[in-house]
Structures are given as C-alpha cells and as structure tokens.
Structure 1
Amino acid sequence: MKIQTRSVIESIFSYPLGDSPEEIKEKYQLKKVRKMSDNENVYGSSAEVKKAISQCIDQLYLYPDGTTAKLIKNLASFYQIEEDRFLIGNGSEEIIRLLTRAYLNHGDEAVMAATTFPRYESNVIIEGGQAITVPLLNGVHDLESMYEKITEKTKMVFICNPNNPTGTIVGKAELLHFIESVPANVLIILDEAYYEYVTTDDYLESLPLLKKHANLIILRTFSKIYGLAGLRVGYGMMDSSIVKELHKVKEVFNVNQIAQAAAVTALNDQSFIEACAEKNAIERAFVCEQLLEMGVGFFPSQTNFIYVYSQYPVSAKLITKGFIIRQMKLQGFEDAFRMTLGTREDNEAFLYVLKEALIERAV
C-alpha cells in the first residue's frame, strides 16, 4: 500500500533541473559544453571572496551565527535602512517559502503572473493556498488585470521585476500606482533578484517605499550578479513586524558561516559588481542586435538572460551542439527558450549555431 502524501502535493511538479553538463557531454559525445540555462554570473565572484572563505575553514565545527548579524549590519549600512528590516535566507527562495508558511491559511489566495518564477505558485499550493495566475501582456506583468483579481481572500501578490523568465520590467509609474492601490492588508512581494543588471531609467527604485507601505517586501539575492549561487544567500527588506513573524518559522541556522562571510565580502566589492553589470549590458545589446538581424523574436531584457522565441524548432540543435539552454513554451511559437548571457566568445558561438539551425529549417 502506498503511503499517501498530502492532497495538495499531488498537483505540484518538481522544479525542472534538466541534464547536467556532464550528462550532455556524454549523451552527445561533446568535448565542451556551455551552460547557459541557470542565469549564473559567467564572470564568477569577487576575488576577495576566496580569501574570506579560506578564513572560515578552521571554524567549520562551529554553528553559524543564527542572527546573521554581520551580514545584516553591512547590508543596512550599504542601503542606509534600519537593521531590523532585514531577513537573511538560504537564497531568496527560502524567504518566499517562509512568507507563505507564516501568512497563508488554507484557502487564502495569492495573485501572480502565469509565466514567472514557478516557486511562488508551488509554495502557495504547499501551504494550502490558491494561486491565482494572470497571463503576461507582451511578456510583461499585467498589473491592471492582477489588481482586478484581488479579493477579500487575497493574502499576497507576487511581482518578479525584472521578470524571470522573460527578463522584462514593469514601468516605473505603473508599478508605483499598483503598490499605492493594493489594500494595506495584502502583502506585495517584489522579487528583484536581477536588480543590479537593470539599465533603463523606467525602473522603480522601491526601497524608499518601504517606510510608506508596511505591506511591501523587497527580495534580492547574492546568487546572480554577486556570483554566489553555490552558497545560497538571499535577503528580504520589509517592515520589522514582518521580520519578527518570519523568525518564528525560519530554521535556526539557515545560512551557513561560509555563505555569510562570502556575502559580506562580495557586498563590499562593488567595483566587481559594477564591472559585471557593464559587461553584461554590452553583451545583452550585442546578442539582441544579432537576434534582430536574424529575425528571431525575443522579449526586451533587463537581466543577464534573454527569452528567445522562434517559429522553427531550434533549441534541440543548440543542445546537441553543447549549448545548455532552458526550453520553455510560448503560445503561438514552435520553440521558445531562455538563454543566459555568456562571454563574447560564448555568445558568438551560440549565435553561430542558432543561425545554422535557422538556415537548416528554412531550406
């Protein structure tokens, strides 16, 4: 007899991780693969991070600081906001989980985009909540329609800005109007994992809104531009009353000591972050220009990845040539995928194979 899981779990699928680089190499008999699927920083992390990690090696027998005090102190100084507004998580994904754990009752609703980071929906369902999804409008959050979905059952709204997987942003004025319109008893969870990659002036600087809107929660991470994806450190900025509630449901030692030390060091090397952002912007413009010349569709990105869509099946060819991208469906198109921007060499090689695939399909 099968041991029965909770009924809500039955509708959830595991996060699709795909084949590893080694598996792709073996499967297609390749000498080299380029991993362009997980939005990691191709330029790595600050050189200072290795030094910080080495200094922790002799203290691995000790539990980490459960209060993450040093990292919070550094973040508070960096952003010039109060220390009691911070919560550090094992990636910002953990904070999403803690929010649903702390605030959702069975049957409560959470509004989100239909095409966005899938763990919002998963965590809502796990807690017995109802995920109310709203289709994107030209790859962008449709905030007007999302607002219309808010009812007396709504407990939280998720906005990924820039959005994963489309890379798009919500305009400054539109997002501000939305935040000011949402009832004060509904949490607004603004996921800004790719904040540091944004270059447009039409992006809302959300931090100044924290004092005015006690229901606003801003999530950021060290996994993307800081290059610490392997250590899992994210953080939320919010009203101190919400921080207190989340402390009740979080694990005691949720962020290990190596991760904490690395994050402090990475935060203090802003010259590295600025260099990565500049290189990314150059490569993003280059790849987008080449895609336009090829006649390949894509959403305008403000991140370190681009969501590409085509009338022809091309992603399979990319994978067989060693380019690991994230395949995703888009209604009305034969093929769609998300590709992480790489170095110029990576991007040129990717574009060459993509062009080959298009030519083959056109013949």
Structure 2
Amino acid sequence: MTLQPRPGILDIKPYKPGAADAPGIANPVKLSSNENPMGCSPLARSAFEASSKNLNLYPDGGATRLRAAIGKAYNLDPARIVCGTGSDELLQLLGRAYLAPGDKVVQSQYGFLVYRLVAMQSGAELVSAPETNFTTDVDAVLQVAGEDARIVFIANPNNPTGTYISHDEIRRLREGLPENTLLVVDEAYAEYVDRPDYETAFDLAREYDNVVVTRTFSKIHGLAALRLGWAYADGSIIDVLNRVRGPFNVNLPAIEAGIAAIEDTDFQQRSAEHNRQGLAYMHQQLGGLGLDVTPSVGNFVLVHFPETKGKTAAEADAFLTRKGLIVRPVAPYGLPNSLRITIGLDADNHKIVEALTEFMA
C-alpha cells in the first residue's frame, strides 16, 4: 500500500467497548459498560419517539434548547456550554484544537483509555502520574506535568477505579499548574457521588479560562445509545470547540431526549439511590469473599483477584462469561488481575455474587 496515514496513527489501538455477548447464552447479563440498569427516563423515551416525526429535518446546530436546559439545571451560562456526540467527542475535539505533535499530555496512572487515544491522534506524548491506593495523587500529577504539559486529563470520579479526589484537591491541582496548561476534568460519573467533600469543578471553569468540565448523558441519564455529552468552560474555549466540531454534531432525537432527561430529576434521584444500595451490597458481599474491592463512588466496582492459579481475574472472567455474566477485564489499563463490574439490577448483582462465591470456593 503506497498511501500511508500520518506517523503514529497505525500505533493506535482502537478503543474496545465492553463485551455484550456470551457464547451459547441467549440473554446474557451485561455489566461491562457502566450503563444505567434502570434504562432511561420515560420522559426522555417519549421525547425520542416524538422526534421521529421530524427525521427529515436537520437539528439545531447549536443545540440551543438543550444548552438552555442544562444551564437551568446547573445554574450555568448556556453560552459557555457546548454539546457533543458523547463527552468522548468533546475530549477528542480538545485534542484536535490544542495539541500538536510532540506536546505532553498528562493523566493519572489508571486514567480513562480515551485520553491516550486523544494524545496519539495528535502525535502528542502521554505521560501517566503514579496513583496512591488507586486514587489520583495531585502531587504526582504536578510533578509529571512540570512546566510544559499542554493538557492534563483528570477523571473525577475515575474510570476504571471508581475513586475520586476532593474539590480542594482539584483546586490545588489547578493552582499548581502553569497558566498555559489546560486542565480537563471529566465528570462522567459525578451524579452518582454521595460524599461531602466532592463538588463539581464548574466553579473552577467559571473562575479560570483554562479549565474544562465534561459531562455525559450516557450514565445516570441512561442515554448511552444516543451518544450525547456536553462541556462547560470559558467562552474562549467554547468558541474554539465550536470552530472545530461538526456543524450538526448532535442529532435531533438526542437533543430532544436530552432536554427531557435533564429535566427528569425524579429518574436521576431513583437511579442514584439504586446505585448507592447496589454499591454497598457489592462492596460487602465481594469483600466477604476475600476479594479486594477498591472503594467506588461511581456505578461500578473494581475487583482485584489473587494471582493464584485457578483464581485469577482472567479465569474469573471466563467463569462468569460461561454463566452469561459479562464484566470488563481491565488489563489494558495496567490492571491484569482486576475486573470492573457495573452495578446492575438487584437480581443481576445477586447473580454476580453467587457466581463469584462458587468461583472462589
């Protein structure tokens, strides 16, 4: 082949979504992608269905009504919001807009895999800062970032660990970084967090012109299939993102369903409460089996398995799959002896515990 892509592109390993099939199992239980087991808001579903009458029309390129609904829900200026095809697209747009070959991108040790993709797509160098107890270490991030990091990506809470750092620590990070370093705080799981020292970084994005906060409709809102996300930042950054995004990057059904979802606080509250109970159950039950479970505030748990032959994470994954229970191996994150398990419906959580009880016996 004579036509070759830009150097480095063929080094990229495409993102691999959580598995959805178990061989020989007709209706497996999928707990591999951190989806909302309660589905989505009935109001969002109705809005999606109603939008099908207008599929011949282009959507509003600025998602004006959706941005207004988000702004109202979070007391944010809609002019400082941009919507995207999932928060993943917005992360990639930030890379397209602000990274050049050779730039340094920093993440925590077990940061979301998309950050690596963003860096590699732009020919930038990704450097990971060591974590402490599977938690972002601000001092380590600052040391690795130095004076020349172009972008620092921090997921808070983090995926796949489920851990978080306090708002004071996020502020300390911003204040310790150079003014020409962009801090991107990925808050995909923020709506699930129930901790007194956790706050969104919206205030930092309002205060600084080099902070971006990203959110998604894929998790607590249950709209993963529609690929919808948004970012909040200084107007100068929003202007740049609007220049590099596609003119109709958010489709009409997603806009309509997103408006209904953001307004359905009852569904959000029920989803968060179900998750709180599920997290407590999984921590207690799996810990009782002698497994090490990293304390999580997301809608999943990171479970660590022994290296003993017959009890490893890979063997546990195969055992669960044979029973029609699909979870997420996290070896690509540097965690070969761990599995990430989404909090599911009560019956599905019980199946996981029963299966792992048998496996660990």
Matched with 2:250 is 255
Matched with 2:168 is 173
Question: Among residues 17, 25, 41, which one is paired with 2:36 in the alignment?
Answer: 41
8 Å CA contact retained: 2:113, 2:333? no
8 Å CA contact retained: 2:148, 2:181? no
Q: Structure 2 CA distance, aligned partners of 1:281 and 1:291?
A: 16
Matched with 1:354 is 356
Deviates more, 1:232-241 or 1:29-38: 29-38
Q: In the TM superposition, what is the alpha-carbon distance from 1:332 to its structure 2 partner?
A: 10
8 Å CA contact retained: 2:19, 2:328? no
Matched with 1:344 is 346
Matched with 1:316 is 318
Runs of 5+ unmatched residues, structure 1: none
Determine if the alignment matches structure 1 residue 53 to structure 2 residue 48. yes
Matched with 1:115 is 110
8 Å CA contact retained: 1:98, 1:250? yes
With structure 2 as the length reference, what TM-score do the two structures score? 0.94
8 Å CA contact retained: 1:111, 1:132? yes
The 1:152/1:334 distance shift into structure 2, 3 A limit, reads closer
8 Å CA contact retained: 1:330, 1:336? no
Runs of 5+ unmatched residues, structure 2: none
Question: Among residues 96, 99, 104, which one is paired with 2:94 in the alignment?
Answer: 99
Q: In the TM superposition, what is the alpha-carbon distance from 1:330 to its structure 2 partner?
A: 9.2
Q: Structure 2 CA distance, aligned partners of 1:202 and 1:82?
A: 25
Matched with 1:13 is 13
Which amino acid in the other structure matches residue 337 of structure 2? D
8 Å CA contact retained: 1:111, 1:156? yes
Note the 1:1-363 alignment, pairs <5 A: 1=1, 3-17=3-17, 19-21=19-21, 24=22, 27=23, 29-311=24-306, 312-313=311-312, 314-329=316-331, 335-359=337-361
Which amino acid in the other structure matches residue 356 of structure 1? E
8 Å CA contact retained: 1:315, 1:335? no
Which amino acid in the other structure matches residue 280 of structure 1? N
Where does structure 1 differ by over 4 angstroms across 4 or more consecutive aligned residues? 330-334
Report the 3-state secondary structure (helix = DSSP H, G, I; strand = E; otherwise coil) of the residue aligned with 1:7: coil
Report the count of equivalent residues: 354
Q: Structure 2 CA distance, aligned partners of 1:9 and 1:44?
A: 36
Q: In the TM superposition, what is the alpha-carbon distance from 1:18 to its structure 2 partner?
A: 5.3
Q: In the TM superposition, what is the alpha-carbon distance from 1:19 to its structure 2 partner?
A: 4.2
Q: Structure 2 CA distance, aligned partners of 1:140 and 1:124?
A: 22
The 1:332/1:17 distance shift into structure 2, 3 A limit, reads closer
CA distances 1:264-287 after superposition (whole Å, capped 9, x unpaired): 000110011001101110110011
Q: Structure 2 CA distance, aligned partners of 1:255 and 1:122?
A: 22
Report the 3-state secondary structure (helix = DSSP H, G, I; strand = E; otherwise coil) of the residue aligned with 2:270: helix
Q: Structure 1 CA distance, aligned partners of 2:76 and 2:235?
A: 11
Q: Structure 2 CA distance, aligned partners of 1:336 and 1:9?
A: 29
Q: Structure 1 CA distance, aligned partners of 2:220 and 2:209?
A: 28
With structure 1 as the length reference, what TM-score do the two structures score? 0.94
Q: Structure 2 CA distance, aligned partners of 1:349 and 1:279?
A: 17
8 Å CA contact retained: 1:175, 1:204? no
CA distances 1:219-262 after superposition (whole Å, capped 9, x unpaired): 11101000000001100000011000111110010000000000
Report the 3-state secondary structure (helix = DSSP H, G, I; strand = E; otherwise coil) of the residue aligned with 2:226: coil
Deviates more, 1:329-338 or 1:34-43: 329-338
What is the alpha-carbon root mean square deviation over aligned residues? 1.7
Which amino acid in the other structure matches residue 343 of structure 2? L
